[in-house]
């Protein structure tokens, strides 16, 4: 059995050489790589790298959007027993510099001129961001690079040609390289998102990721006939699991969109059967649906509300094959014809057989919406250190509030503190050059300490409460000690279910009550404002409109009503909130590159706003430094209104 990534690729090329392995949309036309062409290109790329002096054990940085040659470069690097190090394509130069220096990178593969310019600038830098050791840069897209003559810069086409010549001169080397790969050697270094500290390089072996991929393929019956759209950042552990490990284990076809702007169109054309996305993508899909319905004719709005009510009652049960009355089943079938099927088609999800969300907790209301209209959306729980593989929800056993049972080959344990521990073959080998950090998370018995707080239910399904470091407690009534448990992410997900809310940050630990920062969704709220003839000059101006504050207050009120009805959660209702004057942004260090809130950083950066929320003020002026897309800096200033939210008494069911 093949037990390394290059061996898996060669196995598919032998068994079905003409079958499609990858596709890329270029200038509106889909280009296809067969498994045989994929092998031929990997062979040429590996020989080309060897001809340039790439050595066994060296690291090669990869930065760019999803492209066939980007994924094939992963395999070519591994063929030489080297280690690919993917980086986030939207990272600023200083973030790239840290990874390139820490991973001692000499070779890099860049998608296009934008990424080449970043790398060349870092190589020429003389300050702390300098990366003088970066000697070779290979690029895929030649547009804009015709007149570049920097030393060590070479196109992928030139590398392929160099590799073919090298292969002719050394015909036996490729087979020797593949045979010499150690399955337990590091296959990839994936850097953590850096939510609370500098990113760490997670070293994962061939064995670890292939074991995880085989477990996922077994659970969902993934096979060579499946189609996926690979559009998530290749530096994310989830994309490596989805677009590399499972691709090479199951042998399905991965499709690379023309650009980030064409993903929705390309989804329609491909009609993926297997789909993987973080909650923010599903939040965006729901927001787009809500905007379209706001603009729809009244009869369509009535029909949508009527049949979505039916879907909420029986849709998930029908999806899971549970008994549903004939009348409701017929009504749901009519709803599918008139509402659900057109909705799925509009989102490009008509052919979905299995869809997963991972990377962050998904709100139960959002989860319920997609399952109710017949999309087999499930949760996958994992971390970069576990190959994104700990728990998988199985068909027919999906619970909205859990992430499912332990995946095949995974053991779970919950400490008295509530922290989730994991043991499996898919754990990290080590943090790159960080033995101290490795010792902190891997104990002597082989358990990985996730840092997440969770509980196991009677069926062995895991429910993640929040990051253990984020879970706290409100102050109790005077003289009574600690109050109710405070899990900010749980409340934030309830807020983000509303299409008008894009991001939320809640505060409450060691406080008397909960307060929140809210980012509104510009697309949804701008559409709402325009239909009501509310003028605005931009994000900051719209954020301060009384009508917008009232709109957001209505969302908060509904969340508070839900919390009042949940046992033990009534004390965590949001008492006060404000709408931030700017969107939280990774370039401003407020979010990670995977769009997770850096909670501690945000609390410190906006301390004046937190203090205003808890001091009873009704408004607060703030001026904030920001980084613009062109690399320049500036400030955004505003006087923010603080809103008192409506709260509710606890709802108790009659005995």
31-59 pLDDT, tens digit per residue, is 999 999 999 999 999 999 999 999 999 99
For residues 473 and 549, the model is more confident at 549
Domain boundary among 206, 230, 248: 206
Distance CA 399, CA 408 (A): 18
Distance CA 122, CA 119 (A): 5
The pLDDT, as a whole number, for residue 631 is 64
Share of the chain above pLDDT 90, in %: 75
Mean pLDDT of 362-378: 90
**133 and 19 inside one domain:** yes
The reply to whether 136 falls in a domain is: yes
Confidence band, pLDDT 50/70/90 cuts, at residue 264? confident
Share of the chain above pLDDT 70, in %: 97
Tell me: pLDDT of 139 over 90.
yes
**530 and 574 inside one domain:** yes
Distance CA 501, CA 493 (A): 10
Q: What sign results for the dihedral spanned by CA atoms 336, 338, 343, 346?
A: positive
**630 and 546 inside one domain:** yes
* CATH code of the domain containing 114: 3.40.50.980
pLDDT digit string (tens) for 420-433?
999 999 999 999 99
For residues 253 and 286, the model is more confident at 253
The reply to whether 620 falls in a domain is: yes
**630 and 515 inside one domain:** yes
> Encoding tokens for residue 250?
């199951």
The reply to whether 447 falls in a domain is: yes
Tell me: pLDDT of 654 over 50.
no
* CATH code of the domain containing 507: 3.30.300.30
Mean pLDDT of 220-226: 97
**477 and 580 inside one domain:** yes
The reply to whether 201 falls in a domain is: yes
* CATH code of the domain containing 446: 2.30.38.10
Q: What sign results for the dihedral spanned by CA atoms 382, 471, 595, 268?
A: positive
pLDDT digit string (tens) for 501-545?
999 999 999 999 999 999 999 988 998 999 899 999 999 999 999
Domain boundary among 156, 175, 206: 206
**558 and 416 inside one domain:** no
Residue 538: φ, ψ to 5° = 155, -175
- The β-bridge relationship of strands 411-414 and 419-423 is antiparallel
Determine how many CB atoms are found less than 10 A away from the CB of residue 154.
14
pLDDT digit string (tens) for 19-28?
999 999 988 8
**445 and 526 inside one domain:** no
**548 and 640 inside one domain:** yes
Using a 10 angstrom Cβ sphere, with 0-12 exposed, 13-18 middle and 19 or more buried, the burial of residue 28 is: exposed
Alpha-carbon distance values, 98 to 121, 198, 199, 460 (Å): 14, 9, 9, 41
Per the structure, the complete domain to which residue 634 belongs is given by: 472-644
Domain boundary among 182, 206, 230: 206
Tell me: pLDDT of 334 over 80.
yes
The reply to whether 650 falls in a domain is: no
Torsion of CA 578, 583, 587, 588, to 10 degrees: -20
Tell me: pLDDT of 467 over 90.
no
Confidence band, pLDDT 50/70/90 cuts, at residue 175? very high
Among 264-273, 477-486, 566-575, the least confident range = 477-486
The reply to whether 309 falls in a domain is: no
**66 and 88 inside one domain:** yes
The pLDDT, as a whole number, for residue 649 is 92
Q: Per-residue DSSP letters for 385-430? A: GGTT-SEEPPTT---TT---SBPTT-EEEE-TT-EEEEESTTS-SE
The domain total for the chain is 3
Confidence band, pLDDT 50/70/90 cuts, at residue 655? very low
Pick the closest to residue 256 from 49, 76, 38, 84 (CA basis).
38
The reply to whether 568 falls in a domain is: yes
**454 and 589 inside one domain:** no
Determine how many CB atoms are found less than 10 A away from the CB of residue 461.
20
The pLDDT, as a whole number, for residue 478 is 61
Tell me: pLDDT of 197 over 90.
no
> Encoding tokens for residue 189?
């270094």
The reply to whether 126 falls in a domain is: yes
Q: CB under 8 Å to 352, separation ≥6 — which residues? A: 272, 273, 274, 275, 344, 375, 376
**518 and 627 inside one domain:** yes
The pLDDT, as a whole number, for residue 130 is 85
**491 and 520 inside one domain:** yes
Mean pLDDT of 79-99: 91
């Amino acid at each position: 059995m093949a037990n390394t990534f290059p061996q898996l690729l060669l196995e598919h090329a032998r068994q079905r050489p003409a079958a499609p392995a990858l596709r890329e949309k270029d200038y509106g036309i889909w280009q296809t790589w067969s498994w045989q062409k994929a092998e031929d290109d990997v062979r040429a790329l590996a020989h080309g790298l060897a001809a340039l002096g790439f050595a066994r054990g060296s690291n090669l940085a990869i930065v760019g959007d999803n492209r066939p040659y980007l994924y094939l470069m992963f395999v070519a690097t591994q063929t030489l027993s080297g280690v690919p190090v993917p980086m986030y394509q939207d990272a600023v130069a200083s973030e790239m510099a840290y990874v390139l220096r820490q991973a001692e990178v000499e070779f890099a593969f860049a998608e296009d001129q934008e990424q080449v310019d970043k790398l060349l600038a870092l190589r020429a830098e003389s300050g702390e961001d300098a990366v003088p050791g970066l000697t070779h840069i290979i690029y895929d897209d030649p547009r804009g690079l015709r007149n570049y003559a920097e030393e060590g810069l070479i196109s992928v086409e030139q590398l392929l040609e160099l590799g073919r010549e090298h292969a002719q001169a050394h015909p036996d080397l490729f087979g020797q390289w593949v045979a010499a790969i150690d399955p337990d050697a590091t296959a990839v270094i994936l850097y953590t998102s850096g939510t609370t500290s500098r990113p760490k390089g997670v070293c994962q072996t061939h064995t670890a990721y292939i074991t995880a991929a085989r477990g996922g393929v077994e659970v969902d019956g993934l096979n060579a006939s499946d189609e996926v759209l690979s559009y998530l950042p290749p530096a994310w552990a989830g994309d490596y699991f989805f677009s590399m490990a499972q691709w090479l284990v199951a042998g399905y076809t991965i499709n690379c969109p023309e650009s980030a702007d064409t993903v929705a169109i390309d989804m329609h054309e491909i009609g993926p059967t297997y789909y993987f996305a973080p909650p923010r993508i599903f939040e965006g899909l729901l927001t787009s649906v809500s905007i379209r319905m706001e603009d729809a004719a009244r009869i369509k709005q009535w029909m949508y509300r009527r049949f979505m009510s039916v879907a909420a009652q029986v849709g998930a049960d029908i999806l899971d094959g549970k008994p549903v009355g004939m009348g409701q089943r017929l009504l749901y079938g009519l709803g599918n014809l008139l509402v659900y099927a057109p909705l799925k088609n509009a989102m490009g999800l008509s052919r979905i057989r299995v869809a997963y969300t991972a990377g962050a907790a998904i709100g139960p209301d959002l989860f319920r919406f997609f399952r109710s209209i017949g999309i087999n959306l499930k949760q996958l729980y994992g971390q970069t250190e576990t190959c994104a593989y700990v728990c998988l929800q199985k068909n027919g056993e999906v619970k909205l509030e859990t992430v499912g049972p332990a995946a095949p080959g995974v053991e779970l344990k919950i400490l008295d503190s509530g922290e989730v521990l994991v043991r499996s073959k898919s754990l990290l080998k080590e943090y790159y050059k960080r033995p101290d950090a490795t010792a902190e998370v891997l104990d002597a018995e082989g358990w990985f300490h996730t840092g997440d707080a969770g509980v196991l239910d009677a069926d062995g399904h895991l429910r993640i409460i929040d990051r253990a470091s984020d879970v706290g407690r409100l102050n109790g009534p005077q003289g009574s000690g600690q109050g109710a448990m405070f899990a900010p992410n749980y409340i934030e997900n309830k807020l983000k279910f509303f299409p008008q809310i894009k991001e939320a940050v809640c505060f409450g630990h060691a406080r008397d009550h909960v307060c929140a920062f809210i980012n509104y969704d510009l697309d949804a709220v701008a559409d709402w404002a325009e239909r009501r003839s509310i003028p605005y000059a931009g994000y900051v101006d719209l954020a301060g409109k009384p009508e917008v504050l009232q709109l957001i207050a209505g969302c908060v009120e509904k969340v508070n009503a839900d919390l009042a009805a949940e046992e033990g959660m009534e004390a965590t209702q949001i008492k006060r909130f404000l709408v931030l004057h700017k969107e939280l942004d990774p370039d401003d260090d407020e979010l990670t590159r995977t769009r997770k809130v850096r909670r501690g950083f945000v609390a410190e950066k906006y301390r004046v706003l937190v203090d205003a929320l808890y001091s009873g003020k009704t408004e607060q002026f703030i001026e904030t430094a920001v980084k613009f897309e062109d690399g320049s800096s500036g400030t955004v200033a505003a006087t923010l209104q603080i809103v008192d939210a409506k709260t509710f008494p606890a709802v108790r069911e009659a005995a």
